[in-house]
Amino acid sequence: MLWFSLLVLIPLVAVIITASSGGWSAFANQLQNEQTAAAIWLTIRAALVVTLINVVIGTVIAWVLVRDKFWGKGLLEVIIDIPFALPTIVAGLVLLSLYGAESPLGLHWANTSRSVYLALAFVTLPFVVRMVQPVLEELDADVEEAAASLGASRFTTFRRIILPSLTPAIAAGAALSFARGMGEYGSLVLLSGNLPFESEVASVRILSAIENDNPEGAAAIAAMLLMVSLLVIVVLDLLQRRMVRRG
């Protein structure tokens, strides 16, 4: 327990210390840099939007995988895991060849902020699916039948019985998806072109801060990302507890 605390906490504390080494005003200054602020804002926005999409689509995919039988289901199971298994830079390359300048799909999304959303959606897809799926498999059919015998429609049964059982898993999947989105680098760095004020994300900004010999700046951005991630995880947890209690 102590070992894990040390393993996780020491690096986090180190980041906070470096970020605060210049005092509060230096920290605020770093973040007030317009280019930095734009990068952080884009990152948060993209991670939030993609997480929301994952919550809905991921739950639907998990539902289909558990409840429906169709040809090619096994294949779909494997495809869902590809973003997990693929090295992110490979994912970036795949995305570049699909949506880049010579896009076979005719979608030229390279060097736009859309590329950030796309890359995040790609790498975070499995999180919610893989968290919800086992919980859904564990649900007893007779619980749904009991609700139906008490007069609940299919929709009411889903909303009042199934969904509350799934919320902890959905919330956990969302937290993972959001955290991953906040720190994603490899999959978007090729396609996004890292244009300041357009498609540059926080992790790229951290790298350039380090390259420009500004470790305090890098630490400040990192601390900011850390705080936002923590905030979102706490909010998700509260939301999930509330949903469960309300029933």
Q: Contact positions toward another protein, by CB under 8 A? A: 140, 142-143, 145-153, 156, 160-161, 164-165, 244, 247
CA distance 66 to 47: 27
Q: For residue 123, which of 180, 183, 199 has the smallest C-alpha distance? A: 180
CA distance 17 to 223: 9
In the complex, what is the shortest distance from the CB of residue 13 to another protein, in angstroms, rounded to a whole number? 37
In the complex, what is the shortest distance from the CB of residue 146 to another protein, in angstroms, rounded to a whole number? 4
219 contacts 19 by C-beta, under 8 angstroms: yes
In the complex, what is the shortest distance from the CB of residue 233 to another protein, in angstroms, rounded to a whole number? 21
In the complex, what is the shortest distance from the CB of residue 169 to another protein, in angstroms, rounded to a whole number? 13
Residue 33 vs 165, nearer CB to another protein: 165
In the complex, what is the shortest distance from the CB of residue 6 to another protein, in angstroms, rounded to a whole number? 35
The full DSSP string for 151-197 is: T--HHHHIIIIIHHHHHHHHHHHHHHHHHHHHH--HHHHHHHTT-TT
CA distance 214 to 22: 12
Structure tokens of 132? Answer: 């919800």
CA distance 71 to 145: 27
In the complex, what is the shortest distance from the CB of residue 156 to another protein, in angstroms, rounded to a whole number? 7
Residue 168 vs 193, nearer CB to another protein: 168
Residue 15 vs 170, nearer CB to another protein: 170
Residue 22 vs 164, nearer CB to another protein: 164
In the complex, what is the shortest distance from the CB of residue 55 to another protein, in angstroms, rounded to a whole number? 19
Residue 106 vs 247, nearer CB to another protein: 247
CA distance 148 to 141: 11
Phi, psi of 231, deg, nearest 5: -60, -45
Residue 103 vs 165, nearer CB to another protein: 165
End-to-end CA, the chain: 34
Residue 16 vs 139, nearer CB to another protein: 139
